[in-house]
Chain A
Amino acid sequence: MKFTLAVHGAPHNSQAALSAYRFARAVLRRGHQLQRVFFYHDGVQTASTLAVPPQEETDVGALWVGLHEETGTELDICIAASLKRGMLDETERDRYERNAANVHPAFQIAGLGVLIEAAIECDRLVTFRA
């Protein structure tokens, strides 16, 4: 079965990104396909290279980067949600003439159309809300 996950909660203010990560691992362990993971609303902050969680907390972003590196699962962050929350890759940093980029290269900036297309193409869309 082909899965798409949507993650809507902020990484360190909600359980959404961690629950979605565990679900993603379970999907793959059971031999299903994980087409992509789309981060929307505050979920886009999962892609930040600048978050420094305290030692006793899990680095949620690092978990997703590890999953991407191991399995090649596509991780997308919504461009509109990202820009207004100060999440920029190098292209957007240059376009808007800001002084830093903070999106980990494991994540791609994508339009909402990618979420809609993925929702149509997959067999199951599972949303992890804030």
Chain B
Amino acid sequence: MNVLFLITDSPYRTQRVVETLEAALVAAVFDQQVSVLLKGDAVWSALPDQDVSELDRRSVLKILTALPEYDVEHLYVCAESLAERGLEADTLGTPVETLTASEQRALLDRSERVIS
């Protein structure tokens, strides 16, 4: 089953991003076709060189980088959210696939379950 995890929160303001990624990993372990879409402030999660030593938190980038090892098939990022924040996909800390708004609509259409 195609399961999409749609993440819109800023990575370190709350635990939501970490906990949603944990659910995505479990879905992948359950042999589902898992995709993650970062949108809005969640795109900050993919910034390179995240130094969490003074936050005493887990690095969100580290979890994102590990997604392929767990067979999470796609890490998508909203192109518009990147542009609004002056970010470019090829300068992020992990490889991502960027999606336009219409491509995101198509992704939502073909996802059988969306967890956000």
Contacts and interface: CB of A to CB of B under 8 A. Distances in A.
Interface of A: 6, 8, 40-41, 80-81, 111-113, 115-117, 119-120, 125, 127, 129-130
Interface string B69-99: 0000000000000000000000000000000
Interface size class of chain B, counting residues whose CB lies under 8 Å from the partner chain? 10 to 19
Contact of B22 (A6, A8, A80, A125): A80
Interface of B: 1, 3, 15-16, 19, 22-23, 26-27, 29-30, 32, 113-116
Contacts of B22: 80, 112
A115 B16 contact: no
Contacts of A119: 3, 27, 113, 115
Contacts, number: 43
The B contact surface, by secondary structure, is: mixed
The A contact surface, by secondary structure, is: helix
A40 B18 CA distance: 12
A80 B22 CA distance: 10
Nearest to A120: B1
Q: 10 closest A-B pairs (Cβ-Cβ)?
A: A112-B26, A116-B27, A116-B30, A119-B113, A125-B113, A112-B23, A120-B1, A41-B19, A116-B26, A127-B116
